[in-house]
Amino acid sequence: MPLPNRRENPKIAFTSPDPQMYLRRFWESQWSRESRMLINGSGLHNYRFTVHFISMRHVISALVQNVPGVLSHISGMLASRDYNINSLAVGETEDAKLSRMTFVVVGNEKVQEQVLKQLQKIVTVVKAEDITDQKHVERDLMLMKVEALPGARSKILEMVNIFRGKVVDVSDTTMMIEISGQESKLEGFVDAMRPFGIIELVRSGIIALPRG
């Protein structure tokens, strides 16, 4: 591979949380030993390397003591530090003394580490972990009310069946639909329903458990 011209001042972008490893691999694989020696001799500081960190979606599960004020305490802590929390769901577990909180956090690895560290500092948090890279099952529940005039009802029911939802309430002009699944499925259903006219909707937020 020919050496880049210094005047071009090339940029090399990496999306890994460990950019130094990728710089080393790129260095060793793309340029010959002679080229590396030549660049070292001429000064690598003449070349500019730009490292980009990609924001990722992290699913964080936390077991907390089921005591008054724990939800407001934790959500207040996260809000005060401007973390990008896309979803927050909480509910009692098999042990009445414990609740499980599931967060969907958007950010790079540094943000994910900071969220976990802050959670682990809270006395009422028993355990907190990022289960994004573990095999896990996650679900989101949505209730949607749509306009359903007589001429459109058959088409709405067809879409409900395709997405494996169910109608839970009907009036003269509306239908209420319940649907659960992964986040992408619900977003797809929302897009499919927009032409009919969405009156209102509510979502529970992501809940998740590791497999096995």
Tokens for 125, please give them. 């948090």
Parse the chain into domains and list their residue ranges: 6-46, 56-134, 137-210
pLDDT tens per residue across span 37-67: 444 444 444 444 444 445 688 999 999 999 9
d(CA 105, CA 57): 6
pLDDT tens per residue across span 159-212: 999 999 999 999 999 999 999 999 999 999 999 999 999 999 999 999 999 998
Question: What is the reported pLDDT for 34?
Answer: 44
Average pLDDT over residues 85-113: 90
Place of tokens 């003591």: 65
Question: What is the reported pLDDT for 112?
Answer: 86
Query: Is 97's pLDDT higher than 70?
Result: yes
d(CA 54, CA 22): 15
Question: What is the reported pLDDT for 10?
Answer: 39
- Identify the bridge partners of residue 130 per DSSP, sorted by sequence position: 60
- Identify the bridge partners of residue 115 per DSSP, sorted by sequence position: none
Contacts of 63 by beta carbon, 8 Å cutoff, 6+ apart: 93, 98, 99, 100, 101, 125, 126, 127, 128
Q: How many CB atoms lie within 10 A of CB 193?
A: 22
Average pLDDT over residues 115-141: 93
In CATH, the number for domain 56-134 is: 3.30.70.260
Query: Is 80's pLDDT higher than 90?
Result: no
Tokens for 37, please give them. 């020696």
Average pLDDT over residues 106-122: 88
d(CA 196, CA 172): 15
- CATH architecture of the domain covering 137-210: 2-Layer Sandwich (3.30)
Question: What is the reported pLDDT for 185?
Answer: 95
| Matching fold, domains 56-134 and 137-210 | yes
Are 89 and 102 in contact by the 8 Å Cβ rule? The answer is: yes
Helix (H/G/I), strand (E/B), else coil: 93: coil
Q: CA torsion sign, 157 to 159 to 162 to 164?
A: negative
CB-side neighbour CA atoms (13 Å) of 161:
6
For the chain, what percent of residues have pLDDT higher than 90?
A: 53
Average pLDDT over residues 121-143: 94
Enclosing H/E stretch for 153:
helix 153-162
Question: What is the reported pLDDT for 90?
Answer: 92
Are 147 and 201 in contact by the 8 Å Cβ rule? The answer is: no
Query: Is 12's pLDDT higher than 60?
Result: no
Tokens for 139, please give them. 């679900």
Query: Is 11's pLDDT higher than 50?
Result: no
